[in-house]
């Protein structure tokens, strides 16, 4: 086992994962390439924002890494339920918005947080937001994440799947953002337990590409209807609502003086907010909306 501090090894891991994910997404797109911006945070640290746009497959997406440190704002510490102290945080966060409604939007985040008082934890997860009801895609995504969880305990996936369903829920709409995945946070422990959790974190990060890329490859050449595109733009509106109203990562980034462009990279480029928009105009939409209102067990 490496003798380097855990946080340094996590920094190295998220940079390596960023490289691997960006390379795979560029290959899947076949045309667009990621553009990288490096930024510095007032107060300590910074990040590497990589954004892809105008691609053959991906209309907009970002795969961002940040490593920030400093004094945690008092209000944020209170909201997080932790003691105010100097903090260090590193992680990778990605959101991919495909052009075709036949290809789902995907989000993932894998992070590590520690404080000068000795407190430390891991968090993260991945979730899928489709626009066409495809049970095979949902089962593949969940099965791949479950297999990564099962390496560290068969009890993990059911609990983290439930947390994902609860977290990515748009309360004012009475529906989920997508068909879920896994979500976990505040995974604390002894130094030995944190080492095992770091191994688990890498297992989850490594599962992202095999969970998502086969779905992209299955659907990227499929034709789509005008209504399917319209439905995608309406559902993107729900994505915006969740990210701006409920998302912890958005709040943390903004309140710790992160780079605004990188934080709001998760928002889709084109969205429709029609008044009382129909969401069940055909069988696929009705099926998908039933999944969003009542979470399903996919594996």
Active site residues per annotation: 107
Query: What is the rounded CA–CA span in Å between residue 259 and residue 88?
Result: 16
E-assigned strands of 32-131? 35-40, 45-53, 58-71, 86-98, 105-115, 120-129
Query: What is the rounded CA–CA span in Å between residue 168 and residue 138?
Result: 16
- The answer to whether 254 and 266 are in contact (CB under 8 A) is no
What letter does residue 292 receive in the DSSP assignment? H
Neighbouring CB atoms inside 10 A of 275's CB total: 4
- The answer to whether 12 and 204 are in contact (CB under 8 A) is no
- The answer to whether 262 and 62 are in contact (CB under 8 A) is yes
- The answer to whether 64 and 17 are in contact (CB under 8 A) is no
Query: What is the rounded CA–CA span in Å between residue 268 and residue 167?
Result: 20
- Alpha-helical (H) ranges within 46-190 are 74-80, 135-150, 156-167
Q: Which residues contact 278 (CB under 8 A, 6 or more apart)?
A: none
Q: What's the angle, vertex CA 107, arms to CA 105 and CA 109, rounded to 5?
A: 170
Read off the tokens for 50.
């990589």
């Amino acid at each position: 086992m490496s003798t380097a501090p855990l946080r340094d090894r996590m920094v190295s891991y998220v940079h390596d994962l960023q490289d691997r994910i960006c390379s795979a997404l560029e290959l899947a797109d076949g045309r667009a390439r990621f553009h990288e911006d490096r930024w510095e945070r007032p107060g300590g640290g910074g990040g590497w924002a990589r954004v892809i746009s105008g691609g053959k497959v991906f209309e907009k997406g970002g795969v961002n890494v940040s490593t920030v440190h400093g004094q945690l704002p008092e209000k944020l510490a209170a909201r997080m339920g932790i003691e105010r102290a100097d903090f260090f945080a590193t992680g990778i966060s990605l959101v991919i918005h495909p052009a075709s409604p036949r290809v789902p939007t995907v989000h993932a985040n894998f992070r590590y947080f520690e404080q000068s008082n000795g407190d430390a934890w891991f968090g993260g997860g991945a979730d899928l937001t489709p626009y066409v009801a495809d049970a095979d895609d949902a089962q593949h995504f969940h099965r791949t994440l479950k297999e990564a969880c099962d390496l560290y305990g068969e009890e993990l996936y059911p609990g983290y799947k439930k947390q994902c369903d609860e977290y990515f829920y748009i309360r004012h709409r009475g529906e989920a953002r997508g068909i879920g995945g896994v979500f976990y946070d505040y995974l604390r422990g002894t130094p030995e337990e944190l080492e095992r959790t770091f191994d688990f974190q890498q297992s989850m990060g490594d599962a992202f590409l095999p969970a998502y890329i086969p779905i992209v490859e299955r659907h990227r050449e499929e034709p789509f209807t005008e209504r399917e595109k319209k439905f995608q733009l309406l559902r993107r509106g729900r994505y915006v609502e969740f990210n701006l109203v409920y998302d912890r990562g958005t709040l943390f980034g903004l309140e710790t003086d992160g780079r605004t462009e990188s934080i709001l990279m998760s928002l889709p480029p084109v969205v429709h907010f029609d008044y009382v928009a129909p969401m069940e105009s055909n069988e696929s939409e009705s099926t998908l909306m039933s999944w969003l209102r009542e979470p399903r067990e996919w594996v």
